[in-house]
Amino acid sequence: MIGFVLRRIGVSVLILVAASFVMFNLVALSTDPLADLRESNNPNKQQLIQARIQIAHLDVSPPVRWAMWLGGVAKCLIPFANQCDLGTNFHGAPVTELLPTAMGSTVQMVTGALVLAILFGLMTGILSAIRENSGFDSSFTVISLFLFSLPSFLAAAMLKSFVAIGYNNFLQDPVIPIWVSLLLGVVMGVIVQAVVGGDARRRLLAFGINFVVTSGLLIYMSATGWFLTPNIGPFGIIVITVAMAIGLTALLAGLHQRKALITAGIVSVIGIITYFVIQPLLDVATPILVIGLGLLAIAVGLAVGWFVGGDDRKQNMRLGAILAFLISFLILIDRFMQSFPGYMSDMNGRPLATVGSSTPGYDPGNMWRSGLDVFFHLVLPTVSLLVISFAQYTRYSRAGMIEVLGQDYVRTARAKGMPERVVVVRHAFRNVLIPITTLVATDLGALLGGAIITEYIFAIPGMGQLFQASLGPGDIYPVMGYFLVIAVMAITFNFLADLSYAALDPRVRVR
């Protein structure tokens, strides 16, 4: 194992060095970093040219400049030396100071898009495979193919033109007509009954319940002005927590498992009590405190699962940890919702932004409003990246699940009388994750690359904008900083994907 890791690190370093040499020389030979100054009418043009030549070392040949840059990169590997040198841009700003700021916005956007794409893509793909050739499967096949072929710049432009403007206009008079609520209830009912499947009576029952719940909620929210003062509230927290406990138990263990039900019940009660106790503390919360509370909640869920024990203690611990995390996330969302009226007032009633990663100069002194500001600035770029990645995960997970469900070991599991939940979740799903793991590693690099277009359209000061703004005038050191970050992340995630194969499939061993 150690030998494999060392070999991969050595090969990765060689690849990075060779690729950086090619990239550096291509940029240096294909751009003219002095073109704008030569065309300038500034009286001190020659002084400016000489200053740029000195800053960017333009009097040195590209291969020598690359060697100088590589020496600065090597200093970054010395721990605690604080000598990392990736060069400076034309204005004298160190690249090491530009990258962290640019990476912050890009990582937030790409991480959100990637996580949501994986979750929604896997769920939709697996449901499509289980309901193969059904109306649900056919509908989402068409939708995923459409989204996959949709250019990222077109998706971004449509989101800006229709979603942002439409949502902000809606908040001026947030009333949903009753016929629209009923229509959305019909749509939700049709989708859910297609997912549930079964005989006509079961489908009709699923349709009716979801039609009533969806339409009723929309009518209630419209009548009470919920869109202007959103919140989940104590009653909502209790209902959703109980629903999550039942759903997770049914999915991970089965409702016949008494120990799993006890675990879910204890964690749910602790979570509901915590919601009421923790409210005063959340008024003065900081990001570090919130993260600490989230980790504590997961630890409590693991402890409850361990103490309850049972025939499958690991399963109960997993159930307790996931449920504790979801309850914590629910409480967090409710607290952000409570801060929405104040934030909306700060934004003059138009909270959904179309440019930038945050409002310039906005400092409410409140973690929750600051978080809402970042959310409303990054939600559209995230969705723009999400729709394309979602289509990929849907198609891959559907194809993988259909293939796995036809394997001999799955037929054997069904022949033994195992419930369909166990066959899908424990036997089939784990093998589907193997190709998905490879896709995640490659998709991360693609998302970062695609963020160039998305960040340009939404004017987000991220890695993509740094690359685009530096490549045109031939400002080579920020370009190489972008290349270094992208290359290191791509190689690292591909390496982690190789290692994860052994955890997902016991037949795979790293030698």
For residue 94, is it within any domain?
no
For residue 163, is it within any domain?
yes
Residue 418, domain extent: 101-172+354-473
DSSP for 429-481, written as a single string:
HHHHHHHHHHHHHHHHHHHHHHHHHHHHHHT--SHHHHHHHHHTTT-HHHHHH
How far is the C-alpha of 368 from the C-alpha of 379, rounded, in Å? 16
For residue 106, is it within any domain?
yes
For residue 77, is it within any domain?
no
For residue 498, is it within any domain?
no
Max CA pair span of the chain: 87
Q: What is the reported pLDDT for 450? A: 56
Percentage of residues in the chain with pLDDT exceeding 70? Answer: 96
pLDDT tens digit string along 106-133?
888 888 888 888 888 888 888 888 888 8
Which pTM value belongs to this model? 0.82
Q: Does residue 307 contact residue 317 with C-beta atoms inside 8 Å? A: no
**Which range has the top average pLDDT, 2-6, 293-297, 405-409, 433-437?**
293-297
Number of structural domains found in the chain: 1
How far is the C-alpha of 400 from the C-alpha of 433, rounded, in Å? 9
Q: What is the reported pLDDT for 322? A: 94
Helix (H, G, I), strand (E, B), or coil: what is residue 94? strand
DSSP for 34-75, written as a single string:
THHHHT---TTHHHHHHHHHHHHTTTS-HHHHHHHHHHHHHH
Q: What value does the mean pLDDT take over residues 31-48?
A: 81
pLDDT tens digit string along 196-240?
777 788 888 888 999 999 999 999 999 988 999 998 989 999 999
For residue 362, is it within any domain?
yes
Q: Does residue 88 contact residue 97 with C-beta atoms inside 8 Å? A: no
For residue 224, is it within any domain?
no
Q: What is the reported pLDDT for 501? A: 73
How far is the C-alpha of 178 from the C-alpha of 184, rounded, in Å? 10
> Residue 165 belongs to a domain with what CATH number?
1.10.3720.10
For residue 162, is it within any domain?
yes
Pick the range with the lowest mean pLDDT from 53-62, 368-377, 422-431: 422-431
Please report which residue ranges of 197-312 form alpha helices under DSSP H.
200-224, 233-252, 258-282, 287-308
